[in-house]
Structure 1
């Protein structure tokens, strides 16, 4: 049996520029970092908007998290994550599916 080497040799710090760590030139690394952060921010904003719609629906219908979980076909902790806007824990697809289950289909407008 071959032994697999699993030793960690390098860890990039959270505040570091990953593109610089990968060897890109400084100006290029800064540009790539800014572009990727802008895309991440756009995605998070969209997720937060979808989560707001779900949380509002739960509130309007006076549902407990366990009741909402049953309707949404998820666990109660997942509903808690929605209500507490933990956007990084969800994909856009998951949030769109949850909204469709409660009769709030999502329409995308590109502007």
Structure 2
């Protein structure tokens, strides 16, 4: 039986440019880092917008989190995560599906 090597040889510090650490030229690493941060920001903004819609719907219908969970086909803690904007716990797909379940289909507009 072969042994799996799990030894950590390097840890990238928070805020470090992963592209520079991977050996990209400084200018290229900065460009990739900037582009990736912009994409991450756009994704977070989209998730927050979808979560706002769900939270507004829950509030407008005067639902308890457990009631919303039953309607959305998720657990109550998942509803709490939506209301508290824990974006890292959701994919965009999941949020879109939840909105569709409450009659709020999402339309994508590319600008």
Same fold, TM exceeding 0.5? Answer: yes
- More displaced stretch, 1-10 vs 50-59: 1-10
Q: Compute the RMSD of aligned alpha carbons.
A: 0.6
**When the two structures are aligned, how many residues end up with a matched partner?**
111
What is the CA deviation profile of residues 4-26 of structure 1, one whole-angstrom value per residue up to 9, with x for unaligned ones?
11111111011100000100011
- Work out the CA distance in 2 between the residues paired with 1:92 and 1:56: 17
Give secondary structure in 2 for the equivalent of 1:7: coil
- Work out the CA distance in 1 between the residues paired with 2:49 and 2:89: 14
Q: Which runs of 5+ in 1 are unaligned?
A: none
| 1:34 pairs with 2:34 | yes
What is the CA deviation profile of residues 67-88 of structure 1, one whole-angstrom value per residue up to 9, with x for unaligned ones?
1111101111110010001112
**Structure 1 counterpart of 2:56:** 56
What is the CA deviation profile of residues 53-103 of structure 1, one whole-angstrom value per residue up to 9, with x for unaligned ones?
000000000111111111101111110010001112110000000000000
**Structure 2 counterpart of 1:74:** 74
- Work out the CA distance in 2 between the residues paired with 1:9 and 1:39: 29
Q: Tell me the TM-score normalized by structure 1.
A: 0.98
Q: How does 1:1-111 map to 2 (within 5 A)?
A: 1-111=1-111
Runs of 4+ in structure 1 displaced over 2 angstroms? none
Q: Tell me the TM-score normalized by structure 2.
A: 0.98
Q: Which runs of 5+ in 2 are unaligned?
A: none
